[in-house]
Structure 1
Amino acid sequence: MASIRAQAIILIILTSLLVVPALAGIKYLDGSPDLTAYIAGTNEYTAGSDIQIAVVIENNGMSLDKQVASNIIDRDDPPTTAKFVTVTMTAGDAPLVIESDPQMIGDLASQTRKTVTIHAKVNQDAPADTYALPLNISYTRFDSVDQFDTDSFRYYYVQDNITVTVPLVIKPEVIPEVISVTSGHLVAGADGYLNLTIKNTGSLDGSKATVKITRNDNSPVTPVDSSVFVGDFPAGSTRSCQYKVTVADTAQNKSYPVDVAVVYQNKEGDVVTSRTETVGVNVGNKVDFVILSPPAQMSPGSKKTIQVEYKNIGNSTIKSAQARISAVDPFTSTSDVAYLGDLAPGQSAVASFQISVASDATIKEYGLDSEIRYRDALDTTYISDPMKVSIDVKDLTGFAGIISHPVYLSILIAVIIGIIYTALHFIKKKR
């Protein structure tokens, strides 16, 4: 009985060996790599943008016929495997620049895929359209094998190249281009108006558009009114916008940046913000003045009308300027305000002030504070930084000292009157 059972087990084992050969090898009778490519995610981009194109390389190669036998040794590489795959993208007719070098992605077996990222820059003026980007894929594949004996083989590989295309879409959009910038009398430390003319150089007709300006980093030019609604903004059309801005008093006589963008509604009804264009705004020096006149000469106890010449050394015209002097001890003034009128850049005007000096004033040079009140081009009133009006108080000698001193002048007048009276009396008596 045991013998019969053992014989049955041996028979089953032998039968199974006939159905599935032990350690059988596979020989592929056909097949080769079949590579395709497509862009993962969105393939829509805007003009002027830096983009990263995620391209998926897929191997769909299949072997339909194969041979399985115990005397076959497995090949190192199936004929469907693409080895040492290198991917190179070119721009073709698309308005962009490919910035990535050829990229190696290694081996790609059948029914597998790998993703490669291509960096590119879309031209600023790229027309909206769908473009085909050529993608060259070079690889090595198994070709044939020579068997010299049971355990000695020589494999042969060949180099292949294919070119496929992937579609890339440049979306229509509103592209703002500032074609003129005027800032009038925009100067440091003051408010002013900025006038822009903007053209839509894109291919999309924007609707419900608003042109916005924003401060650029640490620029001293800051918008007070930052948005102007322009409504429909068709491709190729222009719009004029005016903005009120303020300029920091630290600004110098040069051009400063301001950022411009358009917020609009596209055809799908989505609210979109355009790319930002940076433009330069000319700013003049802060309105400032200098005193050109030399120090006024006075003596203790004297009274005098002094002349002070002021010059506008800023970059803009001021209107209705008034000069004021602050008289402090030992000075007094009966007229401390003088009208100068309008002053263009580089123009000067003279103000007259009546000043008295106390009789006990110390002999030295004094500086009296003076300032100018004026209006700018926007009719906004400003007051200048204080300036010093120099008055040199000293004792005057000779005739000048006599006539400048009230007591001495009174005595002199009395003496002159006495002389005249004596002379008249003498003449009358002689007659």
Structure 2
Amino acid sequence: MNKRNLMIGIIALGISLMCLIPASAAGFTPQNNALPDYFDFSDNYYTVYGGPDVSANIVGDNEFYRGDSVTLNINLMNKGVITGFKSEEDDDPIDELDQKLQQQEQSYESQRTTAIGIVAILTSPDPNVEVKSGPQEAGSLAAGEQTTSPIMFNVEFSENAPSGEYPLTLNLYYGYQKNVQVSGDNETSLGVTNMDVGLWYDVGSQNVTIPVNVKKEAQFEVTNVSGQLNIGEEGMLHATYTNTGNEPVKDAIVRISAADPFSTTDDQAYLGDMDVGESAVAVFKVKVGDTAIEKPYAINSEIKYEDTKGHDRVSDNVKIKTQVSASSNRWIDVTRGFCDCSIGYRCYCVVYET
């Protein structure tokens, strides 16, 4: 029976440490170009060109709204090919043993395009997009294969992220077969006796740009507030809303949330269609409770509207900043005296005796 030995040469930097390798060019890049001296124990019949070529794309939509926290599903596919062979032998005739060894080496060399133990790291150069996940393992991919399930990264978009495209960088690191050497004693009817196969592995790296987009949308600000709100009284509050975003809206309706010391039976106002930069005034009838004090207050509001794609949307919370003043009835006549109601929520009364 033929004796067959398989000798594996592995680089000093193992696959488990690939996360520490700096990113390189977008295409396949070997980390070590030279073979060590101790690898030359057999014959090298071919030099092979080519290697893994891992592409990446997002599964599903790549458009999101500012403030979103999402999971990006990324599919990987290995499109690696052997681009050429170069014979390292001269043109002299060769014996049957060398022919057999050449065939064996060529068979092993075809595995050069396999990406082994892929590790993926997603980064964002823009602070408006934050990648919350660390390195992800994607297994090994032979040429023509793709991941059976996508790798996943959690990503957060800033509440203040402007609309537009944000390119993320996916750094890929993997092992691949760099070179093969074979040797043997004799060619027999059963094959080559005492055949040794030396496999040298290196680390390759690629980076792929993954574009994500923050959608255009309307944004609202209260740009002016008027009206008199007094303690213990009902008054009219006028709030001017301006569309400060980059998308027009249709049929905008604003609703306020009247919390203590405010109350209202009139919590909605129609703003209508608002183009970018356009303003509209909402008017609310608001009652101020007797427990209020003279100071600035903020009333929460939100706007429901229809976007340019016909979808119903609700804005972020928009605050209406207003001032509460003392009651307009500071002095109240009584039958035999008067009351001062300007201090807190109690009235101090003076009653004349007859």
Change (3 A) 1:77 1:192: farther
1:340 corresponds in structure 2 to: 338
How far is the alpha carbon of 1:109 from its aligned partner? 1.4
Q: TM-score, normalised by structure 2?
A: 0.62
Q: Does 1:206 align with 2:249?
A: yes
| Alignment partner of 1:85 is 2:118 | yes
Contact kept, 8 Å, 1:318 with 1:342, in 2: the verdict is no
1:140 aligns with 2:175: yes
2:128 is equivalent to residue 96 of structure 1: yes
Distance 1:281 1:151 in 2: 89
Cα distance change, pair 193–157 in 1 and its aligned pair in 2 (3 A): farther
- Partners of 1:344 and 1:249 in 2: CA distance: 11
User: Which sits farther off after the overlay, 124-133 or 163-172?
Assistant: 124-133
For 1:246-325, list aligned pairs within 5 A: 246=287, 258-278=299-319, 315-318=326-329, 321-323=332-334
Question: 1:18 maps to which residue?
Answer: none
> 1:48: which partner in 2?
67
Greater mean alpha carbon deviation, residues 140-149 or residues 196-205? 140-149
* Residue equivalent to 1:60: 79
Relative contact order (alpha carbons < 8 A, sep ≥ 6): 1 or 2 greater? 2
Tell whether the 8 Å contact from 2:182 to 2:197 is kept in structure 1 after alignment.
yes
| Pair 34,351 (structure 1): closer, same or farther in 2 beyond 3 Å | same
Structure 1, unmatched stretches of 5+, are 1-28, 285-314, 324-336, 355-431
Letter in 2 for 1:139: Y
**Given that residues 183 and 194 in structure 1 are in contact (C-alpha distance below 8 angstroms), is that contact kept between their aligned partners in structure 2?**
yes
Deviation for aligned residue 1:175: 0.7
Matched residue, 2:163: 128
Asked whether the equivalents of residues 258 and 280 of structure 1 are also in contact (C-alpha less than 8 Å), the reply is yes
Deviation at 1:322, TM superposition (A): 4.2
Once the two structures are superposed, residues 323-350 of structure 1 have per-residue CA deviations (whole angstroms, 9 ceiling, x without a partner) of 4xxxxxxxxxxxxx34638854589663
Cα contact 2:337–2:352 (8 A) shared by 1: no
Asked whether the equivalents of residues 233 and 327 of structure 2 are also in contact (C-alpha less than 8 Å), the reply is no
Offset at residue 206 of structure 1 (A): 1.2
Q: Identical aligned pairs, as a percentage?
A: 23
1:78 partner SS: helix
Cα–Cα, structure 1 residues 51 and 184, in superposed 2: closer, same or farther, change >3 Å?
Answer: farther
Which residue identity does 1:209 align to in structure 2?
Answer: A
Q: Does residue 55 of structure 2 align to residue 36 of structure 1?
A: yes
Kept in 2: contact 1:137–1:163 (CA 8 A): yes
**TM-score normalised by L of structure 1:** 0.53
Residue identity in the other structure for 1:119: N
Q: Equivalents in 1 of 2:289, 2:114: separation in Å?
A: 67
Aligned pair in 2 of structure 1 residues 30, 345: CA closer, same or farther (>3 Å)? same
218, 221, 231: which one aligns with 1:177: 221
Residue 157 of structure 1 pairs with residue 201 of structure 2: yes
CA distance 1:342–1:36, shift in 2 (3 Å)? same
Q: Which structure: larger Rg?
A: 1
Tell me the secondary structure at the aligned position of residue 79 of structure 1. Answer: helix
Pick closer, same or farther for the CA change 1:195–1:237 going to 2, 3 Å.
Answer: same
8 Å contact 1:214–1:223 — kept in the other structure?
Answer: no
Corresponding residue pairs, total: 282
Given that residues 128 and 160 in structure 2 are in contact (C-alpha distance below 8 angstroms), is that contact kept between their aligned partners in structure 1? no
Residues 276, 117 of structure 1: alpha-carbon distance in 2 compared, 3 angstrom cutoff: farther
Give the residue type in structure 2 aligned to 1:241.
A
Query: RMSD of aligned C-alpha atoms?
Result: 4.3
Question: Structure 1, residues 28-64: CA drift from partner, whole Å, max 9, x if none?
Answer: x776322112222221112333333322223333569
- CA shift at 1:222, angstroms? 5.0
Are residues 137 and 316 of structure 1, via their aligned partners in 2, closer, same or farther at CA, if it must alter by over 3 Å?
A: farther
**What does residue 309 of structure 1 align with?**
none
* SS of match in other structure, 1:121: strand
In 2, Cα distance between the equivalents of 1:222 and 1:116?
51
After TM superposition, give the deviation of residue 174 of structure 1 in Å: 0.9
